[in-house]
A and B are shown apart, each in its own frame.
Chain A
Amino acid sequence: MTVELAAVAGQSTSDINRAQSPLAIRGMTVSYGQKPAVFSVDMTVEPGKMTAIIGPNGAGKSTLLKAALGILKPLAGTTTVYGKSVSEQRHRIAYVPQRASVDWDFPTRVIDVVLMGLYPQLGLLGRVRPMHRAKANDCLIRVGMQDFATRQIGQLSGGQQQRVFLARALAQDADLYLLDEPFAGVDAATEKAIIGVLKSLRDAGKTVVAVHHDLSTVAEYFDNVFLINTRRVAEGPVASTFVTQTLQDAYGGRLAGAQMEALRLAPLDASTS
Chain B
Amino acid sequence: MIWDALTLQLGYNATLVTIGAALLGMAAGVGGTFLFLRKRALVSDAISHATLPGVALAFMVMVALGGDGRNLIGLLGGAAISAAAGLLLVSWLSTHTRLAEDAAIGSVLSVFFGFGIVLLTVIQTMSAGQQAGLEGFLLGSTAGMLRNDALVIAGSAAVTLALVLLMRRPLTLASFDPDYAISTGQNVTRTDLAMMGLVLAVTVVGLKIVGLILIVALLIIPPVTARFWTERTDHVVLIAGVLGGLSAYIGAALSAALPNMPTGPIIVLVGFGFFALSLLLAPGRGVVSALLRHSAYQRRVHLRQGLLALAHGQPIYERLTLRLLQTQGWARPDGVATSDGRARAIKALRDETRWHIIRSDPAYEAAASLYDGLTEIETVLTNDQIMEIDSRIDLRGAVPA
Contact = CB atoms under 8 A, between A and B. Distances in A.
Interface of A: 66, 69-71, 87, 90-91, 93-95, 97, 101-103, 106-109, 112-113, 116, 119-120, 122, 124-125, 144, 147-148, 152, 156-157, 160, 168, 172, 178, 189, 192
Given A95-B183, A120-B184, A102 B232 contact: no
Contacts, number: 83
Contacts of A178: 183
B167 interface: yes
Contacts of A91: 185
Contacts of A90: 183-185
Name the residue in A94, A102, A178 with the highest tally of chain B Cβ atoms < 10 Å from its Cβ.
A102
Interface string B170-181: 101101110110
Interface in B154-176: 166-167, 169-170, 172-173, 175-176
A120 B37 CA distance: 21
Q: Which 4 A-B pairs have the closest CB atoms?
A: A147-B366, A95-B183, A90-B185, A152-B231
Contacts of B236: 107
- Bin chain B's interface residue count: 20 to 34
B37 to A, nearest CB: 7
Contacts of B176: 102-103, 106, 108, 113, 116
A106 B182 contact: no
A102 B329 CA distance: 49
Given A106-B176, A107-B232, A157-B369, A69 B182 contact: yes
Name the residue in B37, B227, B232 with the highest tally of chain A Cβ atoms < 10 Å from its Cβ.
B232
B369 A160 contact: yes
A119 B84 CA distance: 30
Contacts of B39: 103
A96 to B, nearest CB: 8
A124 B177 contact: no
Interface in B225-257: 227, 230-233, 235-236
28 contacts: A70-B183, A90-B183, A95-B180, A103-B176, A106-B37, A106-B175, A107-B230, A107-B231, A107-B236, A108-B172, A108-B176, A108-B233, A112-B233, A116-B173, A116-B177, A116-B180, A119-B184, A120-B185, A124-B166, A124-B170, A125-B166, A144-B365, A147-B366, A148-B369, A156-B369, A160-B369, A172-B184, A189-B365
B362 interface: yes
Name the residue in B166, B182, B230 with the highest tally of chain A Cβ atoms < 10 Å from its Cβ.
B182
Contacts of B231: 107-109, 152
B97 to A, nearest CB: 14
Contacts of B369: 148, 156-157, 160
* Interface SS of B by simple majority: helix
B173 A119 contact: yes
A93 to B, nearest CB: 7
A138 to B, nearest CB: 17
A190 to B, nearest CB: 9
Given A148-B369, A172-B184, 9 more contacts: A69-B183, A107-B37, A107-B235, A122-B169, A144-B365, A157-B369, A160-B369, A178-B183, A189-B365
Interface in B81-139: none
A118 B233 CA distance: 16
A245 B205 CA distance: 67
B353 to A, nearest CB: 21
Nearest to A172: B184
A120 B185 CA distance: 9
Contacts of A93: 183
B232 A97 contact: no
A184 to B, nearest CB: 15
Contact of B182 (A71, A109, A157, A160): A71
B35 to A, nearest CB: 14
Contacts of A124: 166-167, 169-170
Given A124-B166, A144-B365, A189-B365, A70 B182 contact: yes
A139 to B, nearest CB: 15
Contacts of A109: 231-232
Contacts of B37: 106-107
A90 B176 CA distance: 19
A23 to B, nearest CB: 13
